[in-house]
Protein backbone atom coordinates (compact mmCIF):
# COMPACT_ATOMS: atom_id res chain seq x y z
CA UNK A 1 0.00 0.00 0.00
CA UNK A 2 2.82 2.38 0.88
CA UNK A 3 4.51 1.65 -2.45
CA UNK A 4 1.30 2.52 -4.27
CA UNK A 5 1.12 5.91 -2.50
CA UNK A 6 4.76 6.63 -3.41
CA UNK A 7 4.09 5.77 -7.06
CA UNK A 8 1.03 8.01 -7.15
CA UNK A 9 2.95 10.91 -5.63
CA UNK A 10 5.78 10.40 -8.13
CA UNK A 11 3.31 10.37 -11.04
CA UNK A 12 1.71 13.60 -9.83
CA UNK A 13 5.12 15.28 -9.54
CA UNK A 14 6.16 14.14 -13.02
CA UNK A 15 2.87 15.35 -14.47
CA UNK A 16 3.19 18.72 -12.76
CA UNK A 17 6.76 19.18 -13.99
CA UNK A 18 5.76 18.22 -17.52
CA UNK A 19 2.94 20.75 -17.49
CA UNK A 20 5.28 23.52 -16.31
CA UNK A 21 7.88 22.78 -18.99
CA UNK A 22 5.25 22.48 -21.72
CA UNK A 23 3.84 25.89 -20.81
CA UNK A 24 7.28 27.48 -21.21
CA UNK A 25 8.10 25.70 -24.48
CA UNK A 26 6.94 26.41 -27.95
CA UNK A 27 4.23 25.05 -30.20
CA UNK A 28 5.70 22.17 -32.20
CA UNK A 29 3.00 22.27 -34.90
CA UNK A 30 3.53 25.97 -35.51
CA UNK A 31 7.29 25.38 -35.41
CA UNK A 32 7.03 22.77 -38.16
CA UNK A 33 5.06 25.20 -40.31
CA UNK A 34 7.60 27.99 -39.72
CA UNK A 35 10.55 25.66 -40.40
CA UNK A 36 9.05 24.40 -43.66
CA UNK A 37 8.13 27.91 -44.79
CA UNK A 38 11.33 29.75 -43.80
CA UNK A 39 14.23 27.40 -43.04
CA UNK A 40 13.82 24.52 -45.43
CA UNK A 41 14.43 26.84 -48.40
CA UNK A 42 18.14 26.98 -47.53
CA UNK A 43 18.37 23.63 -45.73
CA UNK A 44 17.62 21.01 -48.36
CA UNK A 45 20.13 18.79 -50.10
CA UNK A 46 22.22 20.86 -52.51
CA UNK A 47 21.05 24.24 -51.20
CA UNK A 48 23.22 27.00 -49.75
CA UNK A 49 22.74 25.98 -46.10
CA UNK A 50 23.07 22.26 -46.69
CA UNK A 51 20.55 19.65 -45.67
CA UNK A 52 19.29 20.14 -42.13
CA UNK A 53 16.32 18.31 -40.60
CA UNK A 54 15.26 17.59 -37.02
CA UNK A 55 17.25 14.34 -37.35
CA UNK A 56 20.47 16.29 -37.94
CA UNK A 57 20.99 16.99 -34.23
CA UNK A 58 20.21 15.65 -30.78
CA UNK A 59 17.79 17.45 -28.47
CA UNK A 60 20.69 18.94 -26.53
CA UNK A 61 22.35 20.14 -29.75
CA UNK A 62 19.14 21.84 -30.91
CA UNK A 63 18.79 23.63 -27.58
CA UNK A 64 22.44 24.71 -27.74
CA UNK A 65 21.91 26.02 -31.28
CA UNK A 66 18.98 28.20 -30.21
CA UNK A 67 20.55 29.32 -26.91
CA UNK A 68 24.18 29.85 -27.94
CA UNK A 69 24.92 29.47 -31.66
CA UNK A 70 21.98 31.46 -32.97
CA UNK A 71 22.89 30.79 -36.62
CA UNK A 72 26.44 32.19 -36.33
CA UNK A 73 27.11 31.83 -40.06
CA UNK A 74 24.16 34.09 -40.91
CA UNK A 75 22.85 35.71 -37.72
CA UNK A 76 20.61 38.07 -39.67
CA UNK A 77 18.39 35.10 -40.47
CA UNK A 78 17.34 34.79 -36.83
CA UNK A 79 16.41 38.47 -36.58
CA UNK A 80 13.35 38.05 -38.78
CA UNK A 81 11.72 35.76 -36.20
CA UNK A 82 10.03 36.78 -32.97
CA UNK A 83 11.10 35.09 -29.73
CA UNK A 84 7.86 33.10 -29.84
CA UNK A 85 8.57 31.93 -33.40
CA UNK A 86 12.07 30.81 -32.40
CA UNK A 87 10.64 28.87 -29.43
CA UNK A 88 8.14 27.21 -31.76
CA UNK A 89 10.83 26.20 -34.28
CA UNK A 90 13.11 24.99 -31.50
CA UNK A 91 10.26 22.94 -30.02
CA UNK A 92 9.56 21.25 -33.36
CA UNK A 93 13.23 20.42 -33.93
CA UNK A 94 13.67 19.28 -30.30
CA UNK A 95 10.54 17.09 -30.36
CA UNK A 96 11.70 15.29 -33.51
CA UNK A 97 15.47 15.21 -32.96
CA UNK A 98 17.40 12.02 -33.61
CA UNK A 99 17.31 11.06 -29.90
CA UNK A 100 13.65 11.99 -29.30
CA UNK A 101 10.70 9.66 -28.82
CA UNK A 102 9.36 10.75 -32.23
CA UNK A 103 12.32 11.28 -34.58
CA UNK A 104 11.33 12.47 -38.04
CA UNK A 105 12.41 14.55 -40.98
CA UNK A 106 10.60 17.70 -41.97
CA UNK A 107 8.89 16.08 -44.97
The larger pLDDT score, comparing residue 42 to residue 19, is at 42
Residue 63 lies in a domain: yes
Give me the phi and psi of 19, to 5 degrees please.
-65, -40
Cα torsion 71, 74, 75, 76 to 10°: value is -140
pLDDT digits (tens, 9 = 90+) for 47-80: 888 999 999 999 999 999 999 988 998 999 999 9
Residue 88 lies in a domain: yes
The yes-or-no verdict on residue 18 having pLDDT over 60 is no
What does the pLDDT read at residue 17? 46
Residue 82 lies in a domain: yes
Q: Give dist(CA 4, CA 47) in Å, integer.
A: 55
Q: What is the number of structural domains in the chain? A: 1
Q: Are 55 and 103 in contact (CB under 8 A)?
A: yes
User: What is the domain range of residue 70?
Assistant: 27-95
Q: Give dist(CA 96, CA 32) in Å, integer.
A: 10
pLDDT digits (tens, 9 = 90+) for 78-102: 999 999 999 999 999 999 999 999 9
Amino acid sequence: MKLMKVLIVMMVVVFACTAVFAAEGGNSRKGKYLYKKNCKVCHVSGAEGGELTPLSKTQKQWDRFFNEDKHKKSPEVMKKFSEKDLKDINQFLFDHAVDSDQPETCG
